[in-house]
Structure 1
Amino acid sequence: SSPAARSKSMVMGEASRGSPSLQEGVLKAGWLKKQRSIMKNWQLRWFVLRADHLYFYKDEEETKPQGCISLKGSQVNELTANPEEPGRQLFEIVPAGEKDKAAMSHESFLLMANSQSDMDDWVKAIRRVIWAPFGGGIFGQRLEDTVQYERKFGPRLTPLLVEQCVDFIREQGLDEEGLFRMPGQANLVKELQEAFDCGDKPQFDSNTDVHTVASLLKLYLRELPEPVVPFFWLNLFCSPLLKLVYI
């Protein structure tokens, strides 16, 4: 089959047979288009995110990468879509200012995903890698990893984001109609998510919309790799055998 037909992205070790993504430590893998810096044309390449490097291969079956993008100290940005070129989901990786021998060059790397959701997944995965050393990248990160990092700064049982959202909702939202049902301000939810993912700890004030905070909390819980109630218990309590026992 053609590369386009096999463009399914793979996250957290889901891998197809024989590909480099079968190796340990792969955070995400999938097809992306990469713009060549001189010719400005596009090349379809198989990308593998491992540790703090993004490797790209000519094909999914290749074991030797064509190149590598160092993510340490880098920045990843979604680019505004051009109405004249629909369907082009573009994002860029801007390498650190300091020279890094692991990086191919010090120019931005322009990449194209095949859908908005695919681009969102890549940007989130790369952002987690970039900001994880600074306590960021918590959306989509395992709950225990976030708590373990934050325990460096004091005893914690839950992530700071969860604590902060719950405290604010208790203070400002218990009498609010439609709490956790009515959506918050989508642009502000995105801004807060990006701030927490970048290692910042934005504070809520009396002007903050409680529905926005509730939406942020729901988004965090929804993006956990494993739900707060682990899959084991969900499967156990939802099994037909237990349903028969309790009916």
Structure 2
Amino acid sequence: MLYVCVFAARSKSMVMGEVSQGPCRSASPSLQEGALKAGWLKKQRSIMKNWQLRWFVLRSDQLFFYKDEEETKPQGCIPLQGCQVNELTANPDEPGRHLFEIVPGGTGEKDRAPISHESFLLMANSQTDMDDWVKAIRRVIWAPFGGGIFGQRLEDTVQYEKKFGPRLAPLLVEQCVDFIRERGLDEEGLFRMPGQANLVKELQEAFDCGDKPLFDSNTDVHTVASLLKLYLRELPEPVIPFSKYEDFLTCHFDTFTVCTAPRPAL
């Protein structure tokens, strides 16, 4: 059974106004320079309910918003520690509104405490933009608890998981590889045929929320292969580091030259 950080309960949102809520550390130009993510989002005012376009900067465990890209003093911020982030279902009567909310409370503890009735409502420019923001914020929220591994540095994931025993690769990689070895080596089109997109996303969200979902006999091997490819694709640096890429190409070329060189006549 998959434990996914998607909560059925949906509170009536009290959206963010001009004043940030909760303690926030002061921002400076260095905050934007060292940003984990930055970009334009719309936020809804709590009184007028109209939308304001603001420049958002994600750094550490806080989401700051500015009037524009040149501002060095933020108008406010959202503390992310202990929050959860949810995509909101699109309303067919309002196309082009890509909404997500940041809900204080309900994460950071494995027992999933009841969520707060306040949330911060934000709108992205596109589905892709919203997905990127949700993943980036979720990574910040869940990284201290072993989640947020999609898009996280490989060494950070391995270092965290060492506390549970010796490990040469992330648990997700070992689990996917073991399952594929057991059930997929004779499968036609392995790593070429796509898996079930909704299940891949569900598994990704589960791992990103610090859960460790198990695959069973009903799990499609192409879905597991797609999940593994997705994880490797989203690594900020490939398994072969950028610094070793030229060495790898040289090694490959040398090996190819040796293997294809004509054999001396006997």
Cα shift at 1:87: 1.0
Question: In the alignment, is the contact (CA less than 8 A) between 1:182 and 1:211 conserved in 2?
Answer: yes
More divergent stretch after superposition (94-103 vs 193-202): 94-103
Cα shift at 1:153: 1.1
In the superposition, relative to structure 1, how do residues 10 and 27 fare at CA in structure 2: closer, same or farther (>3 Å)? farther
In the superposition, relative to structure 1, how do residues 143 and 99 fare at CA in structure 2: closer, same or farther (>3 Å)? closer
Question: In the alignment, is the contact (CA less than 8 A) between 1:33 and 1:112 conserved in 2?
Answer: yes
Give the equivalent residue in structure 2 for 1:72: 81
Cα shift at 1:154: 0.9
Give the equivalent residue in structure 1 for 2:154: 143
Question: In the alignment, is the contact (CA less than 8 A) between 1:94 and 1:109 conserved in 2?
Answer: yes
How far apart, in 1, do the equivalents of 2:127 and 2:192 lie? 25
Question: In the alignment, is the contact (CA less than 8 A) between 1:52 and 1:130 conserved in 2?
Answer: yes
Give the equivalent residue in structure 1 for 2:115: 104
Question: In the alignment, is the contact (CA less than 8 A) between 2:151 and 2:236 conserved in 1?
Answer: yes
In the superposition, relative to structure 1, how do residues 162 and 10 fare at CA in structure 2: closer, same or farther (>3 Å)? farther
Question: In the alignment, is the contact (CA less than 8 A) between 1:92 and 1:110 conserved in 2?
Answer: yes
Question: In the alignment, is the contact (CA less than 8 A) between 1:76 and 1:91 conserved in 2?
Answer: yes
Give the equivalent residue in structure 2 for 1:59: 68
After superposition, the C-alpha distances for 1:8-46 in whole angstroms (9 at most, x for unaligned) are 999999999999466454111111000111211000001
Question: In the alignment, is the contact (CA less than 8 A) between 1:10 and 1:29 conserved in 2?
Answer: no
Which one of the candidate residues 167, 170, 191 is aligned to 2:202?
191
In the superposition, relative to structure 1, how do residues 64 and 146 fare at CA in structure 2: closer, same or farther (>3 Å)? same
Question: In the alignment, is the contact (CA less than 8 A) between 2:103 and 2:115 conserved in 1?
Answer: no
After superposition, the C-alpha distances for 1:66-93 in whole angstroms (9 at most, x for unaligned) are 1110111101011111111111111110
How far apart, in 1, do the equivalents of 2:66 and 2:79 lie? 15
In the superposition, relative to structure 1, how do residues 54 and 10 fare at CA in structure 2: closer, same or farther (>3 Å)? farther
After superposition, the C-alpha distances for 1:131-178 in whole angstroms (9 at most, x for unaligned) are 001000000001011001101111111000000000000000001111
Question: In the alignment, is the contact (CA less than 8 A) between 2:14 and 2:46 conserved in 1?
Answer: no
Point out where structure 1 has 5 or more consecutive residues left out of the alignment.
233-246
Question: In the alignment, is the contact (CA less than 8 A) between 1:150 and 1:156 conserved in 2?
Answer: yes
Q: TM-score, normalised by structure 2?
A: 0.75
Question: In the alignment, is the contact (CA less than 8 A) between 1:12 and 1:27 conserved in 2?
Answer: no
- Name the SS of the counterpart of 2:55 in structure 1: strand
Question: In the alignment, is the contact (CA less than 8 A) between 1:21 and 1:48 conserved in 2?
Answer: no
In the superposition, relative to structure 1, how do residues 121 and 16 fare at CA in structure 2: closer, same or farther (>3 Å)? farther
Q: TM-score, normalised by structure 1?
A: 0.81
Question: In the alignment, is the contact (CA less than 8 A) between 1:10 and 1:28 conserved in 2?
Answer: no
> Is the counterpart of residue 11 in structure 1 residue 20 in structure 2?
no
Q: Which one has more relative contact order, counting CA pairs under 8 Å at least 6 apart?
A: 2
Question: In the alignment, is the contact (CA less than 8 A) between 1:76 and 1:94 conserved in 2?
Answer: yes
Give the equivalent residue in structure 2 for 1:44: 53
Q: CA RMSD in A?
A: 7.9
Point out where structure 2 has 5 or more consecutive residues left out of the alignment.
1-7, 23-27, 244-265
- Name the SS of the counterpart of 2:9 in structure 1: helix
Fraction of identical pairs, as percent: 90
Question: In the alignment, is the contact (CA less than 8 A) between 1:94 and 1:107 conserved in 2?
Answer: yes
How far apart, in 2, do the equivalents of 1:206 and 1:10 lie? 44
Question: In the alignment, is the contact (CA less than 8 A) between 1:20 and 1:61 conserved in 2?
Answer: no
After superposition, the C-alpha distances for 1:94-143 in whole angstroms (9 at most, x for unaligned) are 01799999999972111011111111110000000000010000000010
| Structure 1 runs (4+) greater than 4 angstroms displaced | 4-19, 21-24, 96-106
In the superposition, relative to structure 1, how do residues 179 and 101 fare at CA in structure 2: closer, same or farther (>3 Å)? closer
Cα shift at 1:230: 1.9
In the superposition, relative to structure 1, how do residues 59 and 123 fare at CA in structure 2: closer, same or farther (>3 Å)? same
